[in-house]
Amino acid sequence: MTTTASAVRTGYSSTDDIVRNLSLVQDEIADTAAKIDEQQIADLARHLSQPGRVFVAGAGRSGLVLRMAAMRLMHLGLNVHIAGDTTTPAIASGDLLLLASGSGTTSGVVKSAETAAKAGARIAAFTTNPSSPLAGLADALVIIPAAQKTDHGSSVSRQYSGSLFEQVLFLATEALFQSLWDNTDVPAEELWLRHANLE
């Protein structure tokens, strides 16, 4: 066992530690979410409201957050596919590719955007970096002003790596779904009919 792992297993977190860090995470999320340009999310909502299929791609924890968003968009009735799944078809003109990368340089994510652009698809992206290759490819861009995961000395966040970006990404995609749903007359019971029943 490594020294770090040993220290974690023998360490003790008091209730004061937990309370302090719950407050830390909550405050950082609230502060960062408040700095997002709401018009950018509204522009993304407009792209999602257009005809065409929605494809979702991301790596690591950002990718997991987008998978959750994809599920909600499917519940809303959109035709959604996860890039890399064996049954995912080819993206084409008129489709939308939804991506997330804190740095905006994640190679697989940028490559997906380049492929989608060549196919004539629209691209929507979440990132911290407005001058990144991913941002340059996006038709709809949402900047989440969080620290990048390699910025370990950041004054933006005391949390580890890209945690703040991923947390606010989840919040932003939930607000996006809720806003899209608010502008329909579809009851929750109808959305529920699309909920997975092969769990």
Q: What is the pLDDT of residues 30-69, one digit of tens each?
A: 999 999 999 999 999 999 999 999 999 999 999 999 999 9
Domain assignment of residue 162, given as a range: 40-192
pLDDT on residue 162: 85
Select from 34, 9, 58 the least CA-distant residue to 146: 34
Q: Does residue 24 lie in a domain region? A: no
Asked, for residue 175, whether it belongs to a domain, the answer is yes
Question: Count of domains in the chain?
Answer: 1
Give the separation between CA 182 and CA 22, rounded to whole angstroms: 30
Q: Could you read off the pLDDT tens digit of each residue along the chain, which spans 199 residues?
A: 566 655 556 667 899 999 999 999 999 999 999 999 999 999 999 999 999 999 999 999 999 999 999 999 999 999 999 999 999 999 999 999 999 999 999 999 999 999 999 999 999 999 999 999 999 999 999 999 997 766 656 667 878 878 999 999 999 999 999 999 999 999 999 999 999 999 7
User: Within a domain: residue 75?
Assistant: yes
Q: What is the dihedral of CA 39, 66, 179, 92, to 10 degrees?
A: 80
Buried b (16+ CB within 10 A) or exposed e, 54-74: bbbbbbbbbbebbeebbbbbb
- Report if residue 136 sits inside a domain: yes
- The pLDDT of residue 111: 98
Summary mean pLDDT of the chain: 92
Per-residue model confidence (pLDDT) at position 83? 96
Residue 100 lies in a domain: yes
In-domain check, residue 82:
yes
Helices (DSSP H) in 37-185: which residue ranges? 38-49, 60-75, 107-118, 133-137, 163-182
Read off the tokens for 6.
């040993």
Tell me if 106 is assigned to some domain.
yes
CATH number of the domain encompassing residue 80: 3.40.50.10490
Q: Which of 28, 166, 174, 199 is catalytic?
A: 166
199 in active site? no
Q: What pTM does this model have?
A: 0.91
Residue 81, beta-bridge partner list: 55
